[in-house]
Amino acid sequence: MDSQRENALPGSAKLLAEPDFLQIVDDRALYRKIDVRIIPLMFATYFLQFLDKILINYANIMGLQEDLGMNGQQFNWLATALSIALIVAEFPQGWLIQKFPPATVLGVNVFLWGILVSFTAACQNFASLVAVRTLLGIFEAVYIPALIMITSQWYTRRESTPRYGIWYCGLGAGQIIGGLVSFAAQHGSTTASFSSWRIMFVAVGLFNIFIATLILLLLPNTPEAASWLSESEKRRIREKLALDQAGTGRKVFRKTAVVEALVLDIHVWLLFVLTILIVIPSGVITTFSATLIRGFGYDSKSAALLNIPSGAVSIIATLSVTYAILIDFPRWIGIIVLLVPTLIGAGLMSFYEGSTGGVLAGIYLINFGIAPLVLIYTLAGVNTQGYTKKITATAVVALGFGVGSIIGPQTFLSWEAPGYKTAKIIIFVASGAAIVVAIILRLLYGWRNRQRINERQAELDALSSGRINIQMLEMQGDETDMRNKTFVYVY
């Protein structure tokens, strides 16, 4: 529960924080047990999906285009092909998560995309590389909805935000490790048919397969399926989620929930637009940061190392803003705060082209703009209720990720090299527009909550007096957030 709910419902704050009738399990010990078993696997998943994407960035400075005879905008289309496939596969992957256990669906997809990453090393021309990248996009479409759904199964809305932050740091780790892998691969023994970038793809692909095996063996599909939890611990998780209006509800498909998410609920589409605006700058940096750095006159090895600080910036920004939520820092303000250095970075890149140091600082600052995406994930996860609607909303957010990932790389026009003025200006404009959308989203949540304060307080009073019980709240969790008039949005 965040500060907005506490301020709106002062009489319920203590009830939700310390319900005397539920003190059965030590929460600290319980969540230490949960964290150590599931967060590393989710972190590894997000790390690998980003590493798989950014490898193409490093391969570009390691001779990929020369080896495969590529020219013009062909390199841009490698990122675009993956993103188009991700968009096309998003709702089918969402259906799989609805139909089958989410952790199993995730593990199978990670295994398949690991195979494809390894197969990238066998590509001999542009056409084969596009085919592999397209298939990779199909399998990677699963990770956003799967990770959001898995997180929602275990944690309350306040508890979930720092956990989102931890596994989202896999992105920054991917930037750091990607630079080191690229640097190391460039020092390996190579031949004309098996160059350094091919070695890099094989190594990372095999690691993907290893992590996929761990996910399939160790990540429970639900708390109920966790053999390492006692019955009282499982009950405690259910009770906490019911009290907090968190969780996913029963795994039942509801057509009305799909219609609500796609047609009736403007907040889902505001998240979609916000995701696009956030991802455009991050998509540019993901695909072209090493290329931009090499354009300053550095060799490929130095460019790989100089890209590493970008990952550190992303991690610092992500952990800072997600842990600030624990001290009641508003999520929407967090998005805006992170976009300010992004605007400054875009300005440095766009208008200080004569200064290598200024442009390099701009590249690093733009990585602050990667962190707001984790707050969008949290808003999609905590502000939608009901299993079907939550999956649909997270699929829409993932769709926005794919659209932004298409737009970003395409703003890099080959005939503008090495300055790429259009791309830099679009980063600036997109970051400014994202601030506006974040403010609109906050106003919407605030307006909806004002309509629900009395209903939520009445529900909590009834719970305290015994007129309703936890089981009744769990059944209410099957309703969508718009239909459940006691649901309170966090922002």
DSSP annotation string for 308-336:
HHHHHHHHHHHHHHHHHGGGT--HHHHHH
* Contact between residue 164 and residue 39 where contact means Cβ atoms under 8 Å apart: no
Position 40 pLDDT exceeds 90: yes
- Give per-residue pLDDT as tens, 431-441: 889 999 999 99
Dihedral sign for Cα atoms in the order 286, 287, 290, 296: negative
Residue 208 has pLDDT above 90, yes or no: yes
A 10 A CB-CB count for 450 gives 10
Rounded to two decimals, the pTM is 0.81
User: Where exactly are the structural domains of the chain?
Assistant: 37-223+248-476
Comparing 154-168, 177-191, 335-349, which segment has the lowest mean pLDDT?
Answer: 177-191
Write the pLDDT tens digit of every residue in 64-80.
888 888 877 787 787 77
Closest of 48, 283, 287, 60 to residue 171, by C-alpha? 48
Between CA 137 and CA 209, with CA 44 as vertex, the angle to 5 degrees is: 65
How high is the pLDDT of residue 210?
95
Residue with tokens 């970003």: 408
Distance CA(278)–CA(431), nearest Å, equals 7
Structure confidence at residue 20 as a pLDDT band (50, 70, 90): very low
Where are the extended beta strands (E) located within 48-201?
none
| Confidence label for 454 from pLDDT (cuts 50, 70 and 90) | confident
Tens digits of per-residue pLDDT, 247-304?
A: 666 667 788 888 998 988 999 999 999 999 998 877 666 666 776 777 677 777 777 7
Under the banding of pLDDT at 50, 70 and 90, the label for residue 2 is: very low
Poorest-confidence range of 2-6, 30-34, 57-61, 470-474? 2-6
Q: Which of 289, 275, 308, 279 is nearest to 427 (CA)?
A: 279
Query: How far is residue 138's CA from residue 108's CA, in Å, rounded to a whole number?
Result: 12
Residues 6+ apart with CB under 8 A from 294: 61, 300, 303
Which pLDDT score, from 0 to 100, does residue 8 have? 41
Residues in Cβ contact with 218 at an 8 Å cutoff, skipping those fewer than 6 apart: 37, 41
- Tally the C-alpha atoms within 13 A of residue 424's C-alpha that lie toward its C-beta: 23
pLDDT at 459: 67
Superfamily of domain 37-223+248-476: MFS general substrate transporter like domains (1.20.1250.20)
| Residue 222: Cβ within 10 Å count | 16
Question: Residue 9: pLDDT above 50?
Answer: no
Residues 219 and 102: their CA atoms lie apart, in Å, by 10
